[in-house]
Amino acid sequence: MNLDRYKNLKRQNRETINLNPIQRGGVIPSEAKKAIYEFWDGYSICDFCHGRLDEIDNPPVRDFLNDLSEFLNMDIVRLTHGAREGKFIVMHALCKEGDYIVLDKNAHYTSYLAAERAKLNIAEVGYEKEYPIYKIDLERYKEVIDELEDKNKSIGLILLTHVDGNFGNLNDAKKVGKIAKSKGYPFLLNCAYTVGRMPVDGKKLKADFIVASGHKSMAASGPIGVLAFNEEFSEVIKTSKRYPIKEVEFLGCTSRGLPLITLMASFPYVVNRVKYWEDEIKKTRYVVDELEKIGFKQLGIKPKEHDLIKFETPILDEIAKRDKRKGYFFYDELKKRGITGIKPGVTKEVKMSVYGLEWEQVEYVVNAIKEIVNR
């Protein structure tokens, strides 16, 4: 065993402009960094615990969960280890083995895994239009539900990915919420890419459940997630027969320690930043407009309604054929300019986000990419 390898652990790309869409919303502000120094011991959050995480008053976890409910316009909030755990909890609590869940074709792999772990079947809702838009045909939810009902299949849950992690397409959740309501099925909205980045109002969107991701979109250290739901589904928080204070689906307590401390410490910052969502969209559209001038082609819904951008980049592919670094030239050249987060070696398609960057940084990124391509 070489224990030396654990000494002086250093993050390679700490001071760079990171364009990785799954990381941009999880960058923590300085107030959260300060809180880390107060609470870095393992169970530090439990100094004044009387048996359950969500009831801790010092630090103010209980108040925080109430504030989160208000922020999301949902009745009850609990913490999870991530969006994926939230999805599994809902499926496990609500569905019985063999039930169907109806979900969109852009659903994250963790939605499929959660369903598999809960021993459920899947019925997919496909695209209204495939390449290059990949827009989900939301009206199809009704038809898929009807088809399952005609075959006497038991449906346990309707799931929609609010914004998917592949194309960054924003779905009109209310449409699916209405269909689910009219059919009498619970509706889970996966907001891993939206809550904490943009305003989300659960009741307006007709969601019965919302899952969110602290490390992805709420400026928190990972892993932490949020599960919000409405009162009529309080079966999700049923307590143990043997340990009556402990909630079974949460195995008593979920994320404790630094992930939760940073989620709380960043909360005022997050509440404020979602007010500037329109500006984030302007930055995103600016990047698309500028990079399409040099041969990038944006995939997904146009114009962009979310900061995650996926480009088809034949121009990078062309250059890679001539450069001795092959596909790695783009990563390499960006890194020289202090920019990271683009997958090394990938040139056919590129994903990026400029969420939370200053306008000057956005311009710097655009100019750097133009310079690399034009050279």
Ligand X SMILES: Cc1ncc(COP(=O)(O)O)c(C=O)c1O
Please enumerate, by residue number, every residue annotated as part of a binding site for pyridoxal 5'-phosphate.
83-84, 190, 213-215
Nearer to ligand X, 280 or 333 (CB): 280
Estimate to the nearest angstrom the gap between the alpha carbon of 165 and the chain centroid.
8
Residues 154-173 that bind ligand X (CB under 6 A): 161, 164-165
Residues 11-50 that bind ligand X (CB under 6 A): 22
Taking the complex as a whole, the smallest distance from the CB of residue 373 to ligand X amounts, in Å, to 28
Check binding of 84 to ligand X (CB under 6 A): yes
Cis peptide before 186 (omega within 30 of 0): no
Check binding of 225 to ligand X (CB under 6 A): yes
Check binding of 213 to ligand X (CB under 6 A): yes
Stretch touching ligand X by CB under 6 A, among 28-36, 49-57, 67-75, 186-194: 186-194
Taking the complex as a whole, the smallest distance from the CB of residue 37 to ligand X amounts, in Å, to 25
Check binding of 190 to ligand X (CB under 6 A): yes
Instruction: Calculate the alpha carbon distances from 26 to 85, 194, 348 in Å.
Output: 18, 12, 26
Q: Which residues contact 273 (CB under 8 A, 6 or more apart)?
A: 197, 219, 356
Nearer to ligand X, 82 or 369 (CB): 82
Number of shown-chain residues binding ligand X (CB under 6 A): 15
CA–CA distance, 128 with 142 (Å, rounded to integer): 14
Taking the complex as a whole, the smallest distance from the CB of residue 188 to ligand X amounts, in Å, to 11
Taking the complex as a whole, the smallest distance from the CB of residue 95 to ligand X amounts, in Å, to 19
Check binding of 108 to ligand X (CB under 6 A): yes
Nearer to ligand X, 140 or 197 (CB): 197
Nearer to ligand X, 82 or 341 (CB): 82
- 311-348 residues labelled b (16+ CB within 10 A) or e (exposed): bbbebbeebbeebeeebbbbbebbbebebbbbeeebbe
Check binding of 101 to ligand X (CB under 6 A): no
Nearer to ligand X, 197 or 273 (CB): 197
Give me the count of residues in the chain: 375
Sheet with 225-229, edge to edge strand ranges: 76-80, 225-229, 209-213, 187-190, 155-161, 100-104, 121-125
68 secondary structure, DSSP code: H
Please enumerate, by residue number, every residue annotated as part of a binding site. Answer: 83-84, 190, 213-215
Nearer to ligand X, 84 or 140 (CB): 84
CA triplet 257, 260, 262: central angle to 5 degrees? Answer: 105
Residues 299-358 that bind ligand X (CB under 6 A): none
Tell me the helix, strand and coil percentages in the chain, rounded to 5: 45, 15, 40
Looking at 76, 192, 219, 319, which residue binds ligand X (CB under 6 A)? 192
Stretch touching ligand X by CB under 6 A, among 78-86, 130-138, 258-266, 299-307: 78-86
CA–CA distance, 342 with 334 (Å, rounded to integer): 9
Looking at 65, 68, 72, 83, which residue binds ligand X (CB under 6 A)? 83
Nearer to ligand X, 159 or 362 (CB): 159
Q: Which residues contact 23 (CB under 8 A, 6 or more apart)?
A: 341
Looking at 18, 110, 298, 340, which residue binds ligand X (CB under 6 A)? 110
CA–CA distance, 273 with 264 (Å, rounded to integer): 15
Taking the complex as a whole, the smallest distance from the CB of residue 13 to ligand X amounts, in Å, to 19
Taking the complex as a whole, the smallest distance from the CB of residue 206 to ligand X amounts, in Å, to 19
CA–CA distance, 118 with 18 (Å, rounded to integer): 35
- Given the structure tokens 């869940």, which residue do they identify? 101
Nearer to ligand X, 212 or 316 (CB): 212
Taking the complex as a whole, the smallest distance from the CB of residue 191 to ligand X amounts, in Å, to 8
Q: Which residues contact 138 (CB under 8 A, 6 or more apart)?
A: 125, 128, 160, 171, 172, 175, 176, 179
Residue 196 has phi, psi (to 5 degrees) of 100, -20
User: Do 306 and 284 meet the contact criterion of CB atoms below 8 Å apart?
Assistant: yes
Q: Which residues bind ligand X (CB under 6 A)?
A: 22, 82-84, 108, 110, 161, 164-165, 190, 192-193, 213, 216, 225
